[in-house]
Chains A and B, each alone.
Chain A
Amino acid sequence: MEQLLTGMQKCVIDGEIDQIQGYVNQALSDGMEPSVILNNGLIAAMNEVGQRFESGDFFVPEMLIAAQTMQTGLAILKPLLIKADIKTAGTIVLGTVKGDLHDIGKNLVAMMLEGAGFEIRDLGTDVNSEKFIEAVRNGDADILGMSALLTTTMPTMKETIDALVEAGLRNKVKIMIGGAPVTEKYAQSIGADGYAPDASRAVSLAKSLLN
């Protein structure tokens, strides 16, 4: 069993996307619990990937391919996890704010969060506060993430938070923001719960917000 998990972890770390489902199916037919496969196999591997990134051994492409491999394995587990009522790490609604068409950073954050086991609802670019609020109202989002590259579009972040307060939805979600011009100070000033300067730190922020 231990050997199978080690192999599965190595498969994720090396980004062997074609082989991951073989490992997961093998583990399931050996009688391993889906939650064990998820936590001790897939998520453990992504933690190792995160550490390698922090230490400078891994770069963004390796992280993204590993995250995709993890997702491919997770696809098999998902129905089983739902049946067993085991929750994912959390659901995050993401979008680049109104007037802003820059989505490289937001996409990177989405892929990294998925790799860490979060469920992502990506609203895309040019998202106004109404759309964000609708997503919070109608979904089971744990976190709302907003991104902006331009100082001129940043005010939408504040508008959205104010509107959430007005709609009585503010306590329903944690809010994280990011993007080149965004700062910790700005996050505090508009009443967001957190700010991350890059995609890898967005993952640790999301985890800490839900703990």
Chain B
Amino acid sequence: MAKIDEEKLTMINNNDQSPQFRVLSEDQCRGIIEATFECLEKVGIMIQHEEARDMLTAAGAAQQNEIVYIPRNIVKSALNAVPSEFSVCQRDDRGEIKIAINNVLFGPGPTCTYFIDPQSGARRKARRGDAALTAKVCDALPNIDFIMGLSLFDDVTPILSPVYEFAESIANTTKPVIAWANTLDTLQDIYAIAEAVAGGRNAFISQPNFLFFTTYESPLKLAHDPIANMLWAARQGIPIICLGGPTVGVESPFTGASALVIHLASALAALTLVQSANSGAPMVIGGVPSMVDLRSGRPAYGSPEMSLHSAAAVDVARYLRIPFMGTAGASESKLINAQAGIEAAIQVLLSLLSGAALVHDVGFLDCADIGSLPYLILVDEIIGMTKRIMRGIPVNTESIMFDLIQKVGPGGVFLNQPRSASIYRREVWIPTVLERAAYNLWEKGGYRTCDELVLEKLDRILKTHQPVPLSKHTMEVIEKVIEKAKARENQL
């Protein structure tokens, strides 16, 4: 055998890469962006907030009633101002988490009407306590990086639902929480809690422990409360995520390209407002450009087009250097079954390949109507598998292990070689709920399937996992914030 040239190996080493994937070429990205600028200039965007309209017209935009026509130079200066990456922190000082394209982070989604009761396994209305359970489980899962509530509480004053949710979430995890809000009052309640947890305003600013999530509507509309909340959050230095549709076919024509333009125009209008309120404010744009289901008219999270369009939106966001929020682990199925597995696997794989910064909605069933912790656990496993693929194959002297191949030689055994065995944990992905036993042992073990292993894992986490608690003092402050909010809403 010819000896491998050291120089050649160095060359290979320099070319190491993870799997690569793109939906849109750079030319196609430019085509979408050009059409988006034209859309903002000629079609305009509905802005249901007077101060916001005034800010844009003062900068040179034209206005007719609630529609504002934004020239590209205003949008371009906002794009120059927005940071391409920023950090949020874990509340127990375990370090910062970078929010940027190609650093893909996963977490659940918000506001499910129903929740799978962990005790009975039945679908019931979401209620207080469900966000705490979600946060606790997410805290324990290795591939979940941020928290959303998977629930819309049905047993509280409706407008305060996100405040209760945030209080529960941040108390049950150290991972960053993504919060949504109703009125500005409720966002201010949430911020008061976050500030108490961080230990004051300066501590929050240097290490934000939550991101504020809000939405644009499609086609081309920003409603009053989301704008009021975004402007306030921007001025407070709270990182903002603005996400929306369109549901393709209903809120945009049936083509992916038109959906991308409608998504981007709305998101960039929001981004322009945020940067006008506070230049350099950290922001993520997002979209769930799912295909409409042709029978129900509902957005189909499980559609292949949802993942395709989202990956394309990441290409455009990467071109513009803005972090993007996408979607994965969200099934149309009502139960955990083959369909739920297929849909999540494709969504997770495409999300990781595309490099979306934040990927939410892990744990959604039934078109975002059901929050499911068992499904969250299954998708965590899928993310683990896929992240292993994303690490690719490093090619260098150390990884080729030519010496070891030579030492063991033809017909030999590698399993007991210390040099190879010592690195197996780095190389081998180890399943936790996927079932791989030999048939005889499987039979002896009581025919346990992946679904049962998921429930066992959930049960184990709920019984044994202890998130780092908040101090008694902080819990008291949170309680006071909620009491004050309740009193305010009762007065209205």
Q: Which of A112-161 contact B (CB under 8 A)?
A: 150-153, 155
Q: How far is the CA of A150 from the CA of B126 in the complex (A)?
A: 12
Contacts of B292 in A (CB 8 A): 60
Q: Which of B97-123 contact A (CB under 8 A)?
A: 111, 113
The segment from B73-81, B294-302, B378-386, B465-473 found at the interface with A is B294-302
User: From B162, which residue of chain A is reached at the shortest CB distance?
Assistant: A152
The segment from B245-253, B327-335, B342-350, B479-487 found at the interface with A is B245-253
Partner of B152, one of A56, A59, A101, A151: A151
- Contacts A61-B249, A101-B217; A152 near B158 (Cβ below 8 A): yes
Q: Shortest CB–CB separation between residue A81 and chain B, in angstroms?
A: 30
Q: Is the CB of A104 within 8 A of B369?
A: no
Contacts of B296 in A (CB 8 A): 60, 198
Q: Given A60-B296, A104-B251, A150-B111, list of 6 further CB < 8 A pairs? A: A61-B249, A99-B158, A105-B298, A180-B367, A180-B369, A181-B113
Partner of A104, one of B111, B154, B158, B247: B247
| Residue B161 CB within 8 A of the other chain | yes
- Contacts A60-B292, A60-B294, A198-B297; A152 near B250 (Cβ below 8 A): no
Q: Per-residue 0/1 for B310-340: is the Cβ within 8 Å of any A Cβ (1 yes, 0 no)?
A: 0000000000000000000000000000000
Q: Which of B113, B152, B161, B254 has the largest number of chain A CB atoms within 10 A?
A: B113
Contacts of A70 in B (CB 8 A): none
| Residue B125 CB within 8 A of the other chain | yes
Q: Is the CB of B158 within 8 A of A153?
A: yes
| Residue A108 CB within 8 A of the other chain | yes
Partner of B297, one of A99, A151, A199: A199
B contact residues, range: 20 to 34
- By a beta-carbon cutoff of 8 Å, the part of chain A in contact with chain B is 53, 56, 59-61, 99, 101, 104-105, 108, 150-153, 155, 180-181, 198-199
| Residue B389 CB within 8 A of the other chain | no
Q: How far is the CA of A151 from the CA of B182 in the complex (A)?
A: 13
Contacts of A99 in B (CB 8 A): 158, 182
Q: Is the CB of B249 within 8 A of A151?
A: no
* Interface SS of chain B: loop
Contacts of A104 in B (CB 8 A): 247, 250-251, 297
| Residue B159 CB within 8 A of the other chain | yes
13 contacts between A and B (CB under 8 A): A59-B295, A60-B294, A60-B296, A60-B297, A105-B297, A151-B152, A151-B154, A151-B158, A152-B182, A180-B298, A180-B369, A181-B113, A198-B296
Q: Shortest CB–CB separation between residue B196 and chain A, in angstroms?
A: 25
| Residue B477 CB within 8 A of the other chain | no
Q: Which of B250, B251, B254 has the largest number of chain A CB atoms within 10 A?
A: B250
- By a beta-carbon cutoff of 8 Å, the part of chain B in contact with chain A is 111, 113, 125-126, 152, 154, 158-159, 161, 182, 217, 223, 247, 249-251, 254, 292, 294-298, 367, 369
* Interface SS of chain A: loop
User: From B247, which residue of chain A is reached at the shortest CB distance?
Assistant: A104
Q: How far is the CA of A152 from the CA of B125 in the complex (A)?
A: 12
Contacts of B154 in A (CB 8 A): 151
Q: Is the CB of A152 within 8 A of B161?
A: yes
The 6 closest A-B pairs by CB, nearest first: A152-B158, A59-B294, A181-B113, A108-B297, A60-B297, A151-B113
Q: Is the CB of A151 within 8 A of B159?
A: no
Q: How far is the CA of A59 from the CA of B296 in the complex (A)?
A: 9
Q: Shortest CB–CB separation between residue A205 and chain B, in angstroms?
A: 16
Q: Shortest CB–CB separation between residue A161 and chain B, in angstroms?
A: 18
Q: Shortest CB–CB separation between residue A210 and chain B, in angstroms?
A: 24
Q: Shortest CB–CB separation between residue B66 and chain A, in angstroms?
A: 13
Q: Shortest CB–CB separation between residue B123 and chain A, in angstroms?
A: 12
Contacts of B298 in A (CB 8 A): 105, 180
Contacts of B182 in A (CB 8 A): 99, 152
Contacts of B111 in A (CB 8 A): 150
Q: Shortest CB–CB separation between residue B48 and chain A, in angstroms?
A: 10
Q: How far is the CA of A99 from the CA of B492 in the complex (A)?
A: 15
Q: How far is the CA of A152 from the CA of B217 in the complex (A)?
A: 19
Q: Shortest CB–CB separation between residue A203 and chain B, in angstroms?
A: 13
Contacts of B247 in A (CB 8 A): 104
Q: How far is the CA of A199 from the CA of B161 in the complex (A)?
A: 29
Q: Is the CB of B152 within 8 A of A152?
A: yes
Q: Is the CB of A60 within 8 A of B295?
A: yes
Q: Is the CB of A150 within 8 A of B295?
A: no
Contacts of B223 in A (CB 8 A): 101
Q: Is the CB of A150 within 8 A of B249?
A: no
Contacts of B251 in A (CB 8 A): 104
Q: Is the CB of B158 within 8 A of A155?
A: yes
Contacts of A59 in B (CB 8 A): 294-295
Q: How far is the CA of A107 from the CA of B420 in the complex (A)?
A: 63
Q: Is the CB of A150 within 8 A of B152?
A: yes
Q: Is the CB of A180 within 8 A of B113?
A: yes
User: From B152, which residue of chain A is reached at the shortest CB distance?
Assistant: A151
Q: How far is the CA of A150 from the CA of B215 in the complex (A)?
A: 15
Contacts of B295 in A (CB 8 A): 53, 56, 59-60
Contacts of B297 in A (CB 8 A): 60, 104-105, 108, 198-199
Q: Shortest CB–CB separation between residue A195 and chain B, in angstroms?
A: 15
Contacts of A60 in B (CB 8 A): 292, 294-297
Contacts of A53 in B (CB 8 A): 295
Q: Shortest CB–CB separation between residue B288 and chain A, in angstroms?
A: 13
Q: Shortest CB–CB separation between residue A150 and chain B, in angstroms?
A: 7
User: From A179, which residue of chain B is reached at the shortest CB distance?
Assistant: B113
Q: How far is the CA of A104 from the CA of B299 in the complex (A)?
A: 10
Q: Is the CB of B294 within 8 A of A61?
A: yes
User: From B159, which residue of chain A is reached at the shortest CB distance?
Assistant: A152
Q: How far is the CA of A77 from the CA of B297 in the complex (A)?
A: 30
Contacts of B367 in A (CB 8 A): 180
Q: Which of A108, A152, A180 has the largest number of chain B CB atoms within 10 A?
A: A152
Q: How far is the CA of A150 from the CA of B297 in the complex (A)?
A: 17
Q: How far is the CA of A60 from the CA of B250 in the complex (A)?
A: 10
Q: Shortest CB–CB separation between residue A80 and chain B, in angstroms?
A: 33
User: From A107, which residue of chain B is reached at the shortest CB distance?
Assistant: B250
Q: How far is the CA of A29 from the CA of B264 in the complex (A)?
A: 51
